[in-house]
Structure 1
Amino acid sequence: MALDPVARAAIVAALGPDDVVDDPVQTRAYECDGLTGYRVRPEIVLIPRDAEAVARAVKACHRNGVPFVARGAGTGLSGGALPVADGVVISLARLKRVLEVDPENRRAVVEPGVTNLEITAAVAAHGLYYAPDPSSQQVCTIGGNVAENSGGAHCLKYGFTTNHVLSMEVVLPDGELVTLGGDSPEQQGPDLRGVFLGSEGTLGITTKITVRLLRTPETVRTLLADFPSVAEAGEVVSDIVAAGIVPAAVEMMDTLAIEAAEEAVHAGYTVGVPAALVVELDGPIEQCDAEFTQVKEICDAHGCTRLHIAGSPEERAAIWRGRKAAFAAVGRISPDYFVQDGVVPRTRLAEVLGRIADMGDEAGLRVANVFHAGDGNLHPLVLYSAAAGETERAEELSGAIAELCVELGGSLSGEHGIGTDKACSMPKMYGEEDLAVMQRVRDAFDPEGICNPGKVLPTPRLCGERPGKYRPHPLEESGVIERL
């Protein structure tokens, strides 16, 4: 369906032709986010220069009943920024200023297009940093982090984006510009900041964020440990937490993930080992030293076959470079892959990884695992070849893994979001009443249903027709029916 010419003209007029992209070749660059299996080419992309321009664009969409999708860096992995064919994309790429740094109160005010890592770079001279660190922190933007409530490797100790955002200036779906939250974490009245944060772009568009900053730790200790099995590595994680130690991070990678990462960045991981753990402690020197000794003893007690302690900032950076390269590096060992994002209780890590391996074998597909072991946030990567006709099997396996996490007492997503990818699995986790309440909240913010439609909550259209490449119905393939 094409965008109505009158509505199109009104939306273009809200910004001006220099801030509008409508060339079909150029708009194709916006047809998907990091979940490349689903693609929809938008007819128009708007690139406003400030918050007021975002508000004007949204007002024009609201007046003309045109759906819109906000887009940051496009690094999301759940199809959350998938465009609507008869709607527009509003890119926040130009809103990338650090507006204020307040070291005394440990706050910074930034626009949504600022990357996660740029916040830390802007405040490092004051001995401060921004704690959440998604693997894509060099390129993902804080606006996207707010939309998805992103976490990262250090969320075990420091929490997710919601724990580090004090307030947000947002454009509501009718174009009104409001502020949610305030200068302190606790505000009187309903927690609208908390409702909005993590809503995956379905309640409005963030245009300014006030974030909390932390003091740079006195010391950081990092180790890389190999184990003869995933089960033994998982027991180490449980024992560390049981000992009362709260590491800054505990990450696990399996054979396939290690192979891919080493081929890409040569970080010093042991190729062929069944499992590797990255454990990091930070804080006061004496406490770190004492706890680090305990962690080494726990690793040894569970058959650690190699323990490498980072002896310099460069070695620490190399260890993290290997872990954070894993997602992209998998492209070296597979032409295509889906990244899943489920959560299970820590005590069931070995069980769920065994089940995933069995499901992969049954589907005839490989699954690489790299994840935040400390809080049970799995990131199974389902490897497949679209050219070999494996896409549908890979999609089914990826969805089944997410639903397995729910079956084992976990959730569909830890940080990547539900988006388009897992909307149809929401009834596996929530009952009809729960989903109805979520819809009522969404309707309160967006009664016209034009703000990032078709995401998060299941709809008959979404669950009956998968977006992306057209797949003929079996009756069409057999000649019983025809496509009009």
Structure 2
Amino acid sequence: MAIVASEILTRLHSIYSAEDLIVNEDELIVYECDGYVVEKKMPEIVVFPTTAEQVVETVRLCNEFDLPFVPRGAGTSLSGGTLAVGGGVMICLTRMRQILEINERDRYAIVEPGLVNVHLTQNLKGSGFHYAPDPSSQGACTLGGNVATNSGGPHTLKYGVTVNHVLGVEFVSPTGELIQLGGPLGELNGYDLTGLFVGSEGTFGVVTKIWVRLTRDPAAYRTMLGIFETVSDATEAISGIIGAGIIPAALEMMDQGIVGALEDAFHFGFPLDAGAVLLIEVDGLDVAVDLEKQKIIELCNQHGAREVRSADTPAERQLLWKCRKQAFGAIGRLAPSYCTQDGVVPRTKLPEILDFIIQTQKEFGIRIVNVFHAGDGNIHPILLFDERDADQVKKVIAAGDAILSKCIELGGSVTGEHGIGVEKINFMDKLFTADDVNVMTDIRSAFNPKGNCSPHKILPTAGACGMEHIERDKPGRQAAM
């Protein structure tokens, strides 16, 4: 590997122990992609820092040798956000996983970026507080990765996405400086640079510490499962609930394909002949949630629900959420590979986009199943295929592009929480004007002047290292040096 000169390795060995440094190809292959398996590219080196000082030294070394570098958490991202497009050094933050402080009085916690999302939730159990953002990959994804992509989750409808719960970040800039934005009190004055940083997908620097807002636990929950004959009936019920002025804590839809996979995996008792199910949760004061629950049941029945089941115990509620959170894992029973899309449409356009997904499935001859955050119009069509078949890969890429283009046509966006990464770069010119893209390029350049930090991400002109842009018509779309 020409890029791994002996001097670079010698310097890295002065920063890291042998256990915290990977250069062997048979180990590097683990890091060739994230959850977006369509594209693969191995880094030349992977390092595992445990301190901010190690990250600073690593970034400065990369700058000295003009090496690209990319931060990575658990690798659960679904748009190629952690793909090492230009090779170089991958800074894997999973060993920086400490909870540094929990301040219940002021309602914040300080955590390291490699902390798994659900571990903070578990640590807060019994305190009366929780961390609200709960992506479906909550059991594996890291808070640093959540910051990078501005992750959402089932409870986004009521509680918002990651940016609404991040008070501050400490990060190593692409030039190797340790910088803090915000803090326990958030941004007190001036521009909201913390808000700008969240969702920058690793192109503004490498996070080393995060201040997160803690949310008080609701007094009561009411969790329901609405069972519908058709997807159309379920989407009409969604519009009816929101139109009635009810804002559920969560409003999730799963179609027949997902329901079947979940039933095989967990034997919950889902009706396999149902066209779709809605997982609906309201929270708040007892008296309020009882009234909302009754109204929701009435609305579901008005829109053709076969039945509405209630989770009457904490164990039943937990099992329902287990099924929803593990839906993506259950898909492994349906196909060797899958690609999860992440479009957004106005809620009133859900029936239209779902009809289009059904048409796309027929047109391209691939199977598509759906699970999504219906309350805020964030769809997750899951395209099933075998990545060993180049023809299937081409069809999946084309079908995914067609669905995302339709989202734009319907007044939506190509991503709600998974980020742009490398997968959706070609859509940025369709979403934004040339002036918009130029402004975003200028902002990125202010943080990342050499372009070596997470090159070839988000923007069509992103990157350094002389890399050509990824060709979307290439089977597998392998990035090439």
TM-score under structure 1 normalisation? 0.94
Tell me which amino acid in the other structure corresponds to 1:3.
Answer: I
Question: Is the Cα contact below 8 Å between 1:344 and 1:410 reproduced in 2?
Answer: yes
TM-aligned CA deviation for residue 187 of structure 1: 2.3
- Flag structure 2 segments of 5+ consecutive residues without an equivalent: 462-466
**1:297-376 to 2 correspondence within 5 Å?**
297-376=298-377
- Equivalent residue number for residue 51 of structure 1: 52
Identify the match of residue 429 of structure 1 among 428, 431, 434: 431
Change (3 A) 1:467 1:196: farther
**1:236-251 to 2 correspondence within 5 Å?**
236-251=237-252
- Equivalent residue number for residue 281 of structure 1: 282
**SS state of the match for residue 212, structure 2?**
strand
Query: Deviation string for 1:365-390 (max 9, x for gaps)?
Result: 11101000000000000112234431
Query: Deviation string for 1:106-138 (max 9, x for gaps)?
Result: 111000011111111122232110001000101
Query: Aligned equivalents of 1:386 and 1:203: distance in 2?
Result: 32
Tell me which amino acid in the other structure corresponds to 1:408.
Answer: L
Q: Does 1:462 align with 2:464?
A: no
TM-aligned CA deviation for residue 425 of structure 1: 1.5
Question: Is the Cα contact below 8 Å between 1:171 and 1:177 reproduced in 2?
Answer: yes
**SS state of the match for residue 125, structure 1?**
coil
Q: Percent identity between the aligned chains?
A: 45
Tell me which amino acid in the other structure corresponds to 1:402.
Answer: L
Question: Is the Cα contact below 8 Å between 1:168 and 1:208 reproduced in 2?
Answer: yes
Query: Deviation string for 1:274-322 (max 9, x for gaps)?
Result: 1110100001000000111100100111111121100111111111122
Query: Deviation string for 1:166-185 (max 9, x for gaps)?
Result: 00111100110010113224
Query: Aligned equivalents of 2:16 and 2:138: distance in 1?
Result: 32
**SS state of the match for residue 379, structure 2?**
coil
Change (3 A) 1:108 1:471: closer
**SS state of the match for residue 90, structure 1?**
strand
Query: Aligned equivalents of 1:443 and 1:266: distance in 2?
Result: 51
Question: Is the Cα contact below 8 Å between 1:233 and 1:302 reproduced in 2?
Answer: yes
- More contact order relative to length (CA 8 Å, sep ≥ 6): 2
Query: Aligned equivalents of 1:186 and 1:129: distance in 2?
Result: 22
**SS state of the match for residue 76, structure 2?**
coil
Query: Aligned equivalents of 2:275 and 2:235: distance in 1?
Result: 12
Query: Aligned equivalents of 1:167 and 1:253: distance in 2?
Result: 35
TM-aligned CA deviation for residue 164 of structure 1: 0.5
Question: Is the Cα contact below 8 Å between 2:470 and 2:477 reproduced in 1?
Answer: no
TM-aligned CA deviation for residue 344 of structure 1: 0.2
How many residue pairs match? The answer is 474
Of 123-132 and 339-348, the range deviating more from structure 2:
123-132
Change (3 A) 1:38 1:114: same
Identify the match of residue 415 of structure 1 among 414, 417, 428: 417
- Equivalent residue number for residue 9 of structure 2: 9
Query: Deviation string for 1:415-470 (max 9, x for gaps)?
Result: 01110111111111111111111110011011100000011111482243678857
Tell me which amino acid in the other structure corresponds to 1:99.
Answer: L
Query: Aligned equivalents of 1:352 and 1:458: distance in 2?
Result: 26
Query: Aligned equivalents of 1:59 and 1:125: distance in 2?
Result: 43
**SS state of the match for residue 75, structure 1?**
coil
Tell me which amino acid in the other structure corresponds to 1:391.
Answer: V
**SS state of the match for residue 109, structure 1?**
strand
TM-aligned CA deviation for residue 265 of structure 1: 2.0
**SS state of the match for residue 169, structure 1?**
strand
**1:113-152 to 2 correspondence within 5 Å?**
113-152=114-153
Question: Is the Cα contact below 8 Å between 1:268 and 1:318 reproduced in 2?
Answer: no
**SS state of the match for residue 119, structure 2?**
helix
Query: Aligned equivalents of 1:49 and 1:468: distance in 2?
Result: 38
Q: Does 1:445 align with 2:447?
A: yes
Change (3 A) 1:149 1:296: same
Change (3 A) 1:350 1:185: same
Identify the match of residue 395 of structure 1 among 391, 394, 397: 397
Query: Deviation string for 1:302-357 (max 9, x for gaps)?
Result: 11112110011111111112211211211211122110000000000000000111
Question: Is the Cα contact below 8 Å between 1:151 and 1:415 reproduced in 2?
Answer: yes
Tell me which amino acid in the other structure corresponds to 2:107.
Answer: R
- Equivalent residue number for residue 477 of structure 1: none
**SS state of the match for residue 42, structure 1?**
coil
TM-aligned CA deviation for residue 86 of structure 1: 3.5
Tell me which amino acid in the other structure corresponds to 2:213.
Answer: R
**1:32-43 to 2 correspondence within 5 Å?**
32-43=33-44
- Flag structure 1 segments of 5+ consecutive residues without an equivalent: 473-482
Question: Is the Cα contact below 8 Å between 1:38 and 1:467 reproduced in 2?
Answer: no
**SS state of the match for residue 420, structure 2?**
coil
TM-aligned CA deviation for residue 10 of structure 1: 6.1
Query: Aligned equivalents of 1:56 and 1:265: distance in 2?
Result: 47
Change (3 A) 1:419 1:11: farther
Query: Deviation string for 1:14-64 (max 9, x for gaps)?
Result: 513423111111111111111112111111111111111111111111122
Query: Aligned equivalents of 1:3 and 1:100: distance in 2?
Result: 40
Change (3 A) 1:434 1:344: same
Query: Aligned equivalents of 2:185 and 2:267: distance in 1?
Result: 44
Question: Is the Cα contact below 8 Å between 1:14 and 1:60 reproduced in 2?
Answer: no
Tell me which amino acid in the other structure corresponds to 1:107.
Answer: Y
Query: Aligned equivalents of 1:115 and 1:86: distance in 2?
Result: 26
TM-aligned CA deviation for residue 72 of structure 1: 0.4
